[in-house]
């Protein structure tokens, strides 16, 4: 497939000081891509900023105003992890815009990877947390629903549970949320039995995994939970909350995933999108804090999406298989597994 990145140098203007989610994150990834032989094949697209109306598809007006006022006031720490600087409101709108611009590229037959910051998947409708201000992926999904899509799947393989995305659609059957994450770990949610509520019951799928999971373990989770459930859901588009913090070199995660594991997940997400929804797949950056590892993993994913060549992954470990089986048991009430 033809690949694209959506990126703007201005993402560095969300200033978090010496924080792991630092201003240099995206620039390092882009510099790595520029130096690789992939670069000539990648379409580089500038994001359009999101509007406040876009943000309000997911967030409360009070939350939008809180971020705006925090930035106007010169910035401060919202919690122990989450910083707002003077430019953060504008750049958070540009991060949402990155996800919205990415899905526009489906019309060009491209698979986009939105390299945005601040990340989004911890931001709930009314709260910024975990480095996240607005929920980029959730807003992209909501905008697709607004445009008439009836079923959107979100796959989240960031090492942390995407509590904000889960909260945004917990009672909404139009959005399937599937998360593989380390447990116990920040933010503490994402247990097997969190399956949605009301109309959305059965449309939240959590696969909490023990630390130390490998490429083979994630592939096992994909094959036994993600792929069969997404297939039965039959989405019209697939969004990925793509965090590289399950990488074995990541300072904030405790997993053992390598470039091959990320390439495998990207390729299998593409295969689902090709089979189910005319290749409407968009990856949106979430975490990933080791600069070199993150950049190499993004390059491996873009290469896999471009050449569609399979990457060998090892066999799953017993304890990861047991965790995936628990998720299967929890989801059997809703899906054929």
- Catalytic residue numbers? 122
Q: Which strands, in side-by-side order, build the sheet including 175-182?
A: 43-45, 2-6, 110-114, 281-285, 237-242, 152-156, 175-182, 204-209
Kindly list the distances between the CA atom of residue 130 and the CA atoms of 29, 298, 302, in Å, as whole numbers in the listed order: 21, 22, 26
> Least distance from C-beta 252 to Zn ion, angstroms?
7
Q: Does 243 bind Zn ion (CB under 5 A)?
A: yes
When the beta carbons of 174 and 247 are compared against Zn ion, the nearer one is 247
170 vs 289 by CB, closer to Zn ion: 289
CB 101 within 8 A of CB 143: no
Record the tokens describing residue 35, joined without a space. Answer: 């130096």
**99 contacts 113 by C-beta, under 8 angstroms:** no
Q: Closest CB to Zn ion among 47 and 130?
A: 130
Interacting residues with Zn ion between 293 and 322 (CB under 5 A): none
Look at residues 39, 52, 80 and name the one whose alpha carbon lies nearest to residue 299.
Answer: 39
Q: Which two tokens stand for residue 9?
A: 């140098």
Q: What distance lies between CA 319 and its chain's CA centroid?
A: 25
Residue 307 Cβ, how far from Zn ion at the closest point, in Å? 27
Which region among 53-61, 91-99, 221-229, 236-244 touches Zn ion (by CB under 5 A)? 236-244
In total, the chain counts a number of residues equal to 337
User: Is residue 117 part of the contact set for Zn ion (CB under 5 A)?
Assistant: no
Instruction: Give the residue nearest to Zn ion (CB).
Output: 287
**Chain residues 149-208 in contact with Zn ion, contact rule CB under 5 A:** 158, 160
Smallest gap from residue 240 Cβ to Zn ion (A):
13
Say whether 15 sits in a helix, a strand or coil. Answer: coil
Shortest Cβ distance from residue 201 to Zn ion (Å)?
26
For strands 175-182 and 281-285, give the pairing. unpaired
Residue 98 is a binding residue for Zn ion (CB under 5 A): no
Choice between 112 and 243, CB closer to Zn ion: 243
Q: What is the largest CA-CA distance in the chain?
A: 52
Query: Which residues does residue 44 pair with via DSSP β-bridges, in sequence order?
Result: 5
**117 or 160: CB nearest Zn ion:** 160
State which H helix or E strand residue 76 sits in: strand 76-77
Nearest distance, CB of residue 44 and Zn ion, angstroms: 25
Q: How far is the CB of 116 from Zn ion (least distance, A)?
A: 14
Binding mask 257-296 for Zn ion (x = CB under 5 A): ------------------------------x---------
Size of the site for Zn ion (CB under 5 A): 5
Distance CA 274, CA 295 (A): 26
What is the pattern of x (binds Zn ion, CB under 5 A) and - over residues 129-158? -----------------------------x
- Which of 217, 245, 256, 259 forms a contact with Zn ion (CB under 5 A)? 245
- Kindly report whether the peptide bond that precedes residue 244 is cis, defined as omega within 30 degrees of 0: no
Sign, CA dihedral 17-12-182-193, equals positive
Judged by beta carbon, residue 63 or residue 160, the one nearer Zn ion is 160
Using CB under 5 A as the criterion, which residues of the chain lie in contact with Zn ion when the complex forms?
158, 160, 243, 245, 287
């Amino acid at each position: 497939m033809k690949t694209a990145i959506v990126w703007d140098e201005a993402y560095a203007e969300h200033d978090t000081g010496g924080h792991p989610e630092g201003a240099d994150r995206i620039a390092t990834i882009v510099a790595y891509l520029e130096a690789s032989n992939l670069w000539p094949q990648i379409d580089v697209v500038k994001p359009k900023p999101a509007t406040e109306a876009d943000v309000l598809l997911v967030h409360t007006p009070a939350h939008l105003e809180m971020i705006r006022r925090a930035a106007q006031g010169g910035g401060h720490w919202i919690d122990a992890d989450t910083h707002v600087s003077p430019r953060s409101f504008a750049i958070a709108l540009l991060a949402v815009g990155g996800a919205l611009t990415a899905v526009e590229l489906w019309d060009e037959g491209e698979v986009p990877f939105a390299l945005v910051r601040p990340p989004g998947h911890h931001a709930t409708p009314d709260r910024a947390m975990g480095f996240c201000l607005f929920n980029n992926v959730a807003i992209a999904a909501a905008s697709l629903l607004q445009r008439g899509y009836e079923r959107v799947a979100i796959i989240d393989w960031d090492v942390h549970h995407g509590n904000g995305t889960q909260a945004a659609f917990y009672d909404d059957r139009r959005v399937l949320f599937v998360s593989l994450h380390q447990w116990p770990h920040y933010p503490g949610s994402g247990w097997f039995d969190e399956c949605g509520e009301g109309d959305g019951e059965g449309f939240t799928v959590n696969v909490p995994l023990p630390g130390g999971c490998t490429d083979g373990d994630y592939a096992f989770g994909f094959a036994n939970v993600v792929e069969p459930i997404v297939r039965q859901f039959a989405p019209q588009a697939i969004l990925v909350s793509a965090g590289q913090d399950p990488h074995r070199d990541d300072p904030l995660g405790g997993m053992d995933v390598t470039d091959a594991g990320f390439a495998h997940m990207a390729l299998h997400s593409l295969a689902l999108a090709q089979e189910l929804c005319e290749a409407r797949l968009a990856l949106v950056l979430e975490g990933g804090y080791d600069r070199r590892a993150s950049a190499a993993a993004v390059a491996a994913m873009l290469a896999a999406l471009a050449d569609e060549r399979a990457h060998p992954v090892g066999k799953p470990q017993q304890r990861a298989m047991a965790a995936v089986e628990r998720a299967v048991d929890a989801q059997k009430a809703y899906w054929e597994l």
